[in-house]
Amino acid sequence: MRNVTFVAAVALLVRKDLVIEARSREVIYTAVLFAIACVLVFAFGFVTEGRAEPDAAAAILWIAIAFSGTLALARIFDRERQNETLRALMLAPVARPAIYVGKLAGVLALLLLVQTIVVPLVALWFQAGLFRHATLVLALLVSGSVGYAAVGTLFAAMLARTRGRSALLPVLLYPVTIPVIIAGVKGTAALLQADPNLAVARAWLMMLVSFDAVFITLSLWMFEPVMSD
Protein backbone atom coordinates (compact mmCIF):
# COMPACT_ATOMS: atom_id res chain seq x y z
CA MET A 1 0.00 0.00 0.00
CA ARG A 2 2.92 2.30 0.54
CA ASN A 3 3.48 3.08 -3.10
CA VAL A 4 -0.09 4.06 -3.89
CA THR A 5 0.05 7.06 -6.16
CA PHE A 6 -2.32 9.99 -5.86
CA VAL A 7 -4.36 8.96 -8.90
CA ALA A 8 -4.52 5.32 -7.85
CA ALA A 9 -5.70 6.27 -4.37
CA VAL A 10 -8.40 8.53 -5.79
CA ALA A 11 -9.55 5.84 -8.22
CA LEU A 12 -9.64 3.27 -5.43
CA LEU A 13 -11.74 5.52 -3.22
CA VAL A 14 -14.19 6.36 -5.98
CA ARG A 15 -14.54 2.69 -6.87
CA LYS A 16 -15.17 1.82 -3.23
CA ASP A 17 -17.90 4.45 -2.91
CA LEU A 18 -19.56 3.51 -6.17
CA VAL A 19 -19.48 -0.22 -5.39
CA ILE A 20 -21.13 0.42 -2.01
CA GLU A 21 -23.73 2.60 -3.68
CA ALA A 22 -24.33 0.11 -6.50
CA ARG A 23 -25.05 -2.57 -3.91
CA SER A 24 -27.41 -0.58 -1.70
CA ARG A 25 -28.64 2.18 -4.05
CA GLU A 26 -29.75 3.93 -0.89
CA VAL A 27 -28.31 7.42 -1.46
CA ILE A 28 -29.32 7.72 -5.08
CA TYR A 29 -32.83 6.44 -4.39
CA THR A 30 -33.39 8.79 -1.44
CA ALA A 31 -31.84 11.79 -3.15
CA VAL A 32 -33.86 11.40 -6.35
CA LEU A 33 -37.12 11.03 -4.45
CA PHE A 34 -36.24 14.01 -2.29
CA ALA A 35 -35.41 16.10 -5.37
CA ILE A 36 -38.77 15.20 -6.91
CA ALA A 37 -40.51 16.12 -3.66
CA CYS A 38 -38.69 19.48 -3.71
CA VAL A 39 -39.76 20.17 -7.29
CA LEU A 40 -43.33 19.28 -6.35
CA VAL A 41 -43.37 21.58 -3.31
CA PHE A 42 -41.86 24.50 -5.21
CA ALA A 43 -44.25 23.98 -8.11
CA PHE A 44 -47.08 25.06 -5.80
CA GLY A 45 -45.31 28.35 -5.22
CA PHE A 46 -44.26 29.14 -8.76
CA VAL A 47 -47.07 27.84 -10.94
CA THR A 48 -50.06 30.09 -11.42
CA GLU A 49 -52.99 29.10 -13.60
CA GLY A 50 -51.24 26.01 -14.80
CA ARG A 51 -48.17 27.79 -16.10
CA ALA A 52 -44.86 28.29 -14.36
CA GLU A 53 -43.51 31.78 -13.89
CA PRO A 54 -40.56 32.62 -16.12
CA ASP A 55 -37.22 31.61 -14.58
CA ALA A 56 -39.05 29.32 -12.16
CA ALA A 57 -37.74 26.17 -13.85
CA ALA A 58 -34.12 27.23 -13.42
CA ALA A 59 -34.66 28.17 -9.77
CA ILE A 60 -36.55 24.98 -8.95
CA LEU A 61 -33.94 22.84 -10.69
CA TRP A 62 -31.05 24.33 -8.73
CA ILE A 63 -32.91 24.30 -5.44
CA ALA A 64 -33.74 20.64 -5.96
CA ILE A 65 -30.09 19.93 -6.76
CA ALA A 66 -28.83 21.82 -3.72
CA PHE A 67 -31.34 20.28 -1.30
CA SER A 68 -30.98 16.72 -2.51
CA GLY A 69 -27.21 17.25 -2.56
CA THR A 70 -27.24 18.01 1.16
CA LEU A 71 -29.22 14.86 1.81
CA ALA A 72 -26.81 12.75 -0.26
CA LEU A 73 -23.76 14.31 1.43
CA ALA A 74 -25.15 13.70 4.90
CA ARG A 75 -25.99 10.09 4.11
CA ILE A 76 -22.66 9.31 2.41
CA PHE A 77 -20.67 10.52 5.39
CA ASP A 78 -23.08 8.92 7.86
CA ARG A 79 -22.18 5.64 6.25
CA GLU A 80 -18.47 6.36 6.72
CA ARG A 81 -19.03 7.19 10.35
CA GLN A 82 -21.05 4.12 11.30
CA ASN A 83 -18.06 1.81 11.08
CA GLU A 84 -15.46 4.49 11.82
CA THR A 85 -14.22 3.99 8.27
CA LEU A 86 -13.47 7.68 7.89
CA ARG A 87 -10.98 7.46 10.73
CA ALA A 88 -9.49 4.33 9.17
CA LEU A 89 -9.18 6.21 5.89
CA MET A 90 -7.40 9.06 7.60
CA LEU A 91 -4.94 6.55 9.09
CA ALA A 92 -4.19 5.02 5.70
CA PRO A 93 -0.76 5.86 4.28
CA VAL A 94 -2.06 8.00 1.42
CA ALA A 95 -1.89 11.73 0.94
CA ARG A 96 -4.79 13.48 2.67
CA PRO A 97 -5.66 15.52 -0.42
CA ALA A 98 -6.12 12.21 -2.27
CA ILE A 99 -8.75 11.20 0.28
CA TYR A 100 -10.52 14.50 -0.21
CA VAL A 101 -10.42 14.28 -4.01
CA GLY A 102 -11.60 10.68 -3.88
CA LYS A 103 -14.59 11.51 -1.71
CA LEU A 104 -15.30 14.58 -3.83
CA ALA A 105 -15.31 12.52 -7.02
CA GLY A 106 -17.63 9.97 -5.45
CA VAL A 107 -20.05 12.65 -4.22
CA LEU A 108 -19.90 14.36 -7.60
CA ALA A 109 -20.71 11.13 -9.45
CA LEU A 110 -23.79 10.64 -7.26
CA LEU A 111 -24.92 14.26 -7.66
CA LEU A 112 -24.63 14.04 -11.44
CA LEU A 113 -26.49 10.73 -11.42
CA VAL A 114 -29.35 12.38 -9.51
CA GLN A 115 -29.35 15.19 -12.08
CA THR A 116 -29.73 12.80 -15.00
CA ILE A 117 -33.15 12.01 -13.58
CA VAL A 118 -34.16 15.40 -12.19
CA VAL A 119 -33.17 17.53 -15.20
CA PRO A 120 -35.37 15.69 -17.74
CA LEU A 121 -38.22 15.73 -15.23
CA VAL A 122 -37.99 19.51 -14.78
CA ALA A 123 -37.72 19.95 -18.55
CA LEU A 124 -40.84 17.85 -18.98
CA TRP A 125 -42.95 19.33 -16.18
CA PHE A 126 -42.13 22.97 -16.82
CA GLN A 127 -41.80 22.86 -20.61
CA ALA A 128 -38.27 24.16 -20.07
CA GLY A 129 -35.97 24.02 -23.06
CA LEU A 130 -33.10 22.50 -21.13
CA PHE A 131 -31.96 20.49 -24.14
CA ARG A 132 -31.91 23.34 -26.66
CA HIS A 133 -28.39 24.23 -25.62
CA ALA A 134 -27.52 20.92 -24.09
CA THR A 135 -23.76 21.42 -23.93
CA LEU A 136 -24.02 24.76 -22.14
CA VAL A 137 -26.62 23.43 -19.71
CA LEU A 138 -24.42 20.40 -19.09
CA ALA A 139 -21.38 22.62 -18.51
CA LEU A 140 -23.36 24.78 -16.05
CA LEU A 141 -24.66 21.73 -14.20
CA VAL A 142 -21.26 20.06 -13.99
CA SER A 143 -19.34 23.15 -12.91
CA GLY A 144 -22.09 24.07 -10.43
CA SER A 145 -22.07 20.58 -8.98
CA VAL A 146 -18.27 20.65 -8.69
CA GLY A 147 -18.37 23.88 -6.67
CA TYR A 148 -21.23 22.67 -4.49
CA ALA A 149 -19.67 19.26 -3.91
CA ALA A 150 -16.24 20.77 -3.18
CA VAL A 151 -17.54 22.73 -0.19
CA GLY A 152 -20.11 20.08 0.67
CA THR A 153 -17.54 17.28 0.87
CA LEU A 154 -15.26 19.30 3.12
CA PHE A 155 -18.09 20.35 5.45
CA ALA A 156 -19.79 16.95 5.54
CA ALA A 157 -16.46 15.23 6.23
CA MET A 158 -15.58 17.55 9.07
CA LEU A 159 -19.09 17.43 10.54
CA ALA A 160 -19.15 13.63 10.36
CA ARG A 161 -17.96 13.33 13.95
CA THR A 162 -19.85 16.20 15.55
CA ARG A 163 -23.16 16.25 17.30
CA GLY A 164 -26.19 17.53 15.45
CA ARG A 165 -24.51 17.21 12.05
CA SER A 166 -27.71 16.65 10.10
CA ALA A 167 -29.00 20.06 11.14
CA LEU A 168 -25.65 21.85 10.95
CA LEU A 169 -24.71 20.77 7.43
CA PRO A 170 -27.37 22.76 5.55
CA VAL A 171 -26.94 25.76 7.84
CA LEU A 172 -23.20 25.86 7.10
CA LEU A 173 -23.39 24.84 3.48
CA TYR A 174 -26.09 27.07 1.99
CA PRO A 175 -24.66 30.51 2.85
CA VAL A 176 -21.21 29.45 1.67
CA THR A 177 -22.45 28.05 -1.63
CA ILE A 178 -24.67 31.05 -2.42
CA PRO A 179 -22.38 32.25 -5.25
CA VAL A 180 -22.66 28.86 -6.93
CA ILE A 181 -26.44 28.84 -6.64
CA ILE A 182 -26.75 32.40 -8.00
CA ALA A 183 -24.48 31.66 -10.96
CA GLY A 184 -26.20 28.35 -11.68
CA VAL A 185 -29.73 29.74 -11.52
CA LYS A 186 -28.93 32.87 -13.53
CA GLY A 187 -26.92 30.99 -16.16
CA THR A 188 -29.65 28.40 -16.63
CA ALA A 189 -32.39 31.05 -16.65
CA ALA A 190 -30.56 32.92 -19.44
CA LEU A 191 -30.72 29.76 -21.53
CA LEU A 192 -34.37 29.06 -20.74
CA GLN A 193 -35.65 32.43 -21.97
CA ALA A 194 -37.74 32.52 -25.11
CA ASP A 195 -34.72 34.15 -26.70
CA PRO A 196 -31.73 32.34 -25.12
CA ASN A 197 -28.90 34.65 -24.17
CA LEU A 198 -25.78 32.61 -24.81
CA ALA A 199 -23.31 35.37 -23.91
CA VAL A 200 -24.84 35.80 -20.43
CA ALA A 201 -24.88 32.06 -19.85
CA ARG A 202 -21.21 31.83 -20.82
CA ALA A 203 -20.32 34.68 -18.46
CA TRP A 204 -22.01 32.86 -15.56
CA LEU A 205 -20.28 29.66 -16.60
CA MET A 206 -16.92 31.39 -16.38
CA MET A 207 -17.85 32.60 -12.90
CA LEU A 208 -18.80 29.09 -11.87
CA VAL A 209 -15.46 27.78 -13.09
CA SER A 210 -13.59 30.42 -11.11
CA PHE A 211 -15.67 29.62 -8.00
CA ASP A 212 -14.78 25.97 -8.47
CA ALA A 213 -11.09 26.82 -8.60
CA VAL A 214 -11.32 28.88 -5.38
CA PHE A 215 -13.47 26.36 -3.51
CA ILE A 216 -11.33 23.37 -4.45
CA THR A 217 -8.06 25.16 -3.62
CA LEU A 218 -9.36 26.28 -0.23
CA SER A 219 -10.82 22.86 0.58
CA LEU A 220 -7.69 20.97 -0.48
CA TRP A 221 -5.63 23.24 1.71
CA MET A 222 -7.97 22.95 4.68
CA PHE A 223 -8.83 19.25 4.54
CA GLU A 224 -5.71 18.01 6.28
CA PRO A 225 -5.56 20.43 9.25
CA VAL A 226 -9.32 20.18 9.80
CA MET A 227 -9.51 16.40 9.69
CA SER A 228 -6.41 15.46 11.67
CA ASP A 229 -6.73 15.26 15.43
Partner 1 sequence: MTRLFTVVLIVCIGMFGYAPFLIVNAPYESTMGLVQKIFYFHVAAALTMFLSAFVAGIASAVFLLGRRPSMDRVAVAAAEITVVLGFIVLVSGPLWARKAWGVWWQWDARLTSTLVMWLVFQSYLLLRTYGGPGSDRLSSAVGIFGAALVPFVYWSVNMWRTVHPTTNVVPTLDPSMRGPFLFCVLAFFCLYALLLMTRTALETRRAELDALYLSLED
Which residue lies nearer to partner 1 by CB, 32 or 61? 61
Asked if 88 interacts with partner 1 (CB under 8 A), we say: no
* Of residues 161-190, those binding partner 1 (CB under 8 A): 161-164, 168, 171-172, 174-176, 178-179, 182-183, 186
CB 199 → partner 1: shortest distance, Å? 13
- Is residue 99 part of the contact set for partner 1 (CB under 8 A)? no
Q: DSSP labels for the chain?
A: -TT--HHHHHHHHHHHHHHHHHHH-HHHHHHHHHHHHHHHHHHHHHEETTEEPTTHHHHHHHHHHHHHHHHHHHHHHHHHHHTTHHHHHHHSSS-HHHHHHHHHHHHHHHHHHHHHHHHHHHHHHTT--TTTTHHHHHHHHHHHHHHHHHHHHHHHHHHTTSTTHHHHHHHHHHHHTHHHHHHHHHHHHHHHSSS--HHHHHHHHHHHHHHHHHHHHHHHHHHHHHH--
Q: Does the protein bind partner 1 through residue 203 (CB under 8 A)? A: yes
User: Binding-site residue total for partner 1 (CB under 8 A)?
Assistant: 30
Q: Output 30 or 197, the one with its CB closest to partner 1.
A: 197
211 touching partner 1, by CB under 8 A: yes
Q: How far is the CB of 183 from partner 1 (least distance, A)?
A: 6
Residues 111-170 that bind partner 1 (CB under 8 A): 151, 154-155, 158-159, 161-164, 168
Least Å distance, CB 5 to partner 1, is: 27
**Interface with partner 1 (CB under 8 A):** 151, 154-155, 158-159, 161-164, 168, 171-172, 174-176, 178-179, 182-183, 186, 203-204, 207, 211, 214, 218, 222, 225-226, 229
